Structure 1
Amino acid sequence: MKSALRLGAMAMIASGVVAAPAAAELPPSVKAMLDAAIASGDAGALATVARFAKQTHPDNAAEIDEKIQAHKAAIDAEREARLRQASFFHAWSGSGELGGFITTGNTESSGISAGLSLERRGIDWLHKFRANVDYQRSDGVTTRNQWLASYEPNFTLNDAIYAYGLATYEKDRFQGFSDRTTASGGVGVRLVRQADFSLDIKGGPAWRHTVGIDEPDTTELNTLAAADLRWQISRAFELKNNAQAVWSSGNSSYANTTGLTGKLNGSLSARLSYAVRHETSPPAGSEMTDTITRATLVYDF
């Protein structure tokens, strides 16, 4: 009799009739903690709660991951719906900065520096606007008056490639030109795209019009190449580097800016940046290379 029962049990197991015990249901207290972390909107708190929940209830790891993925999918769907309904003038974020600068090159001076950065991330489009002004006036004489503004729309073609447009306006009488406008368009590649590190490169033809001060105006067809690097060193520090080159048969321009930003509290940060700008054929009497060091306070909004 026992042999018959043993053989029957073995047959049932072999045929899959007897299944492995199901994992215990996730305790209500753990579910409540996950729901509270999700409701808080704090991604860091949710990640911490989920990690400890999976450590204490490893058999329910799949259920916990499924709950978090459902939450992320809901957020993405809500964001996409909001962006589709928003007009072009909504859904922008950015920062403003104010501080001082020190320059070398065509002028050796110090003064006030102000900047504005805006960004709008859509479903397929990314819009970026940048503006910066450095100004100094001493004994009734303006010794530094540099303006720079740029607008760049990007259209995503796939996860790694995008098309870009770029319009830049510059004003720097001390470097020999009253106004300089550059327009470019081409292709960009996202070489690295990680949470704490990214590297993009882009390039294409460029058109440039320069209004000289003591020299004739010029209009040239050039080639533009640029690289943007971002490294989130820690939760408190971020490093960015922007490099750009405009090649032409006449005057070629090279610019590089490196900035280190450190969080102070909330939306307030401190930034130290160093920029180098080089012109291969500047107007007579102008230096080829300018540098500017800025120390600013940054407010994110």
Structure 2
Amino acid sequence: MKNTSLAVLFVSALAAGGTHAQEVAIDPSGAPTNSGWSGSGEFGFASARGNSRSENLNAKLGLTQENELWKNNFFLNGLRSKGEVSVVDANGNTVSQFSTTANRYEGGASVGYKLDPRSYIVGAGRYEHDDFGSNLWQSTVSLGYGYIALKNQRTELSFEIGPGYKRYRPADELQDVGGVTVPVRQETVGEGVARGLVNYKYRLTDNTAFEDTLLLEAGSKNKYYQNDAGLSVSMTKKMALKLGFQVRYNSDTQPGTQSTDTLTTTNLVYNF
């Protein structure tokens, strides 16, 4: 069900985009500017060998489209990391082992139908899987209201808010069973949430831009906040370097699991 919701939203976005393939942007004079679908792909990789061993890989894909009737977005993100960790073997000895330390992927889409040049009704869906997070997986669908407060060639600011429904499965809880620590599966939780999204973009210079996106999914059992900030410097029309910083917070966590995760990335970006 959680994957189906995202697929429906994405297909709807593509169908809308195929009907109206021109983008309208609001500049200070109120005159529209037109273009089609646009997007960017990010990729970062680091590997260390010698006195220590580690591998880190992260990738992102984002697509956006805005025209006279629709404001659509689609994204995919992935993170995987390996490194030296200390484990206890069958004989009770502590040994080093090259093992996976992060494995997370996320996808989502939103479809917005414009009521006027600035306000729109938006349906959104998001799914995330994280082997090392406070929740093994979480998915959210919502319907709300969006407003483009400001949009010109230098600055963009938009807001979205509305009710939604969220399902998530907390990470396995480690319990002592007969002197042996074993993971115990937790029950899936479902609840209504309030979803909010704030997206801000600002072009500092002709080749330098800052972007910050804040996502809130607040329910009575769990409150989830995620903030993504990024500073990109263009090298050519298509290629850029980007420094990103992400903060994620889950209020409902298992013992031994932290509520807050951070991620710093330096990626190569391709714009299309």
Q: TM-score, normalised by structure 2?
A: 0.72
Q: Which residue of 2 aligns with 1:127?
A: 72
* Partner Cα separation in structure 1 for residue 20 and residue 262 of structure 2: 44
Q: Which residue of 2 aligns with 1:178?
A: 136
Taking structure 1 as reference, are residues 85 and 133 closer, same or farther at Cα in structure 2, changes over 3 Å only?
Answer: closer
- What whole-Å deviation, never above 9, does each CA across 1:4-37 have from its counterpart, x for those lacking one? xxxxxxxxxxxxxxxxxxxxxxxxxxxxxxxxxx
- What whole-Å deviation, never above 9, does each CA across 1:199-244 have from its counterpart, x for those lacking one? 1111000110112342211011011111000101111011110001
* Residue from 210, 227, 232 that aligns with 2:203: 232
Which runs of no fewer than 5 residues in structure 2 stay unpaired? Answer: 1-16, 22-35, 47-53, 84-96, 173-185
Q: Which residue of 1 aligns with 2:218?
A: 247
**Contact residue 83 and residue 122 of structure 1 kept, 8 A:** no
| Same amino acid, percent of matched pairs | 25
Taking structure 1 as reference, are residues 192 and 85 closer, same or farther at Cα in structure 2, changes over 3 Å only?
Answer: closer
* Residue from 232, 239, 251 that aligns with 1:261: 232
Q: Which residue of 1 aligns with 2:109?
A: 151
* Partner Cα separation in structure 2 for residue 238 and residue 208 of structure 1: 33
- Tell me the SS of whatever aligns to 2:132: helix
- Tell me the SS of whatever aligns to 1:287: coil
The amino acid of 1:256's aligned partner reads: N
The amino acid of 1:205's aligned partner reads: P
* Residue from 277, 280, 283 that aligns with 2:248: 277
RMSD: 2.0
| Segment of structure 1 superposing worse, 121-130 or 249-258 | 121-130
* Residue from 32, 40, 56 that aligns with 1:95: 40
- Tell me the SS of whatever aligns to 1:151: strand
- Tell me the SS of whatever aligns to 1:278: strand
Taking structure 1 as reference, are residues 236 and 155 closer, same or farther at Cα in structure 2, changes over 3 Å only?
Answer: same
* Residue from 233, 237, 261 that aligns with 1:290: 261
More helix by share: 1
Q: CA deviation at 1:100?
A: 4.1
Q: How many residue pairs align between the two structures?
A: 209
* Partner Cα separation in structure 1 for residue 229 and residue 242 of structure 2: 10
- What whole-Å deviation, never above 9, does each CA across 1:130-179 have from its counterpart, x for those lacking one? 11111012355211001111101111111221111110011112113222
- What whole-Å deviation, never above 9, does each CA across 1:174-208 have from its counterpart, x for those lacking one? 11322211111100111122221111111000110
2:170 counterpart of 1:221: no
Q: CA deviation at 1:83?
A: 6.2
Q: Which residue of 2 aligns with 1:52?
A: none
Q: TM-score, normalised by structure 1?
A: 0.65
Q: Which residue of 1 aligns with 2:271?
A: 300
* Partner Cα separation in structure 2 for residue 136 and residue 258 of structure 1: 21
| Segment of structure 1 superposing worse, 198-207 or 172-181 | 172-181
2:136 counterpart of 1:165: no
The amino acid of 2:262's aligned partner reads: T
**Contact residue 263 and residue 269 of structure 1 kept, 8 A:** yes
* Partner Cα separation in structure 2 for residue 184 and residue 279 of structure 1: 19
Deviation beyond 3 Å, 4+ runs, structure 1: 82-86
* Partner Cα separation in structure 1 for residue 70 and residue 221 of structure 2: 34
The amino acid of 1:244's aligned partner reads: L
The amino acid of 2:212's aligned partner reads: N
Q: Which residue of 1 aligns with 2:168?
A: 210
Q: CA deviation at 1:283?
A: 2.1
* Residue from 137, 154, 158 that aligns with 1:200: 158
Which runs of no fewer than 5 residues in structure 1 stay unpaired? Answer: 1-81, 102-108
* Residue from 82, 99, 103 that aligns with 1:137: 82
* Partner Cα separation in structure 1 for residue 271 and residue 197 of structure 2: 25
More strand by share: 2
* Partner Cα separation in structure 1 for residue 218 and residue 124 of structure 2: 16
Higher alpha-carbon Rg? 1
**Contact residue 134 and residue 258 of structure 2 kept, 8 A:** no
- Tell me the SS of whatever aligns to 1:284: coil
Q: CA deviation at 1:93?
A: 2.4
Q: CA deviation at 1:277?
A: 0.7
Q: CA deviation at 1:85?
A: 7.2
Taking structure 1 as reference, are residues 263 and 207 closer, same or farther at Cα in structure 2, changes over 3 Å only?
Answer: same
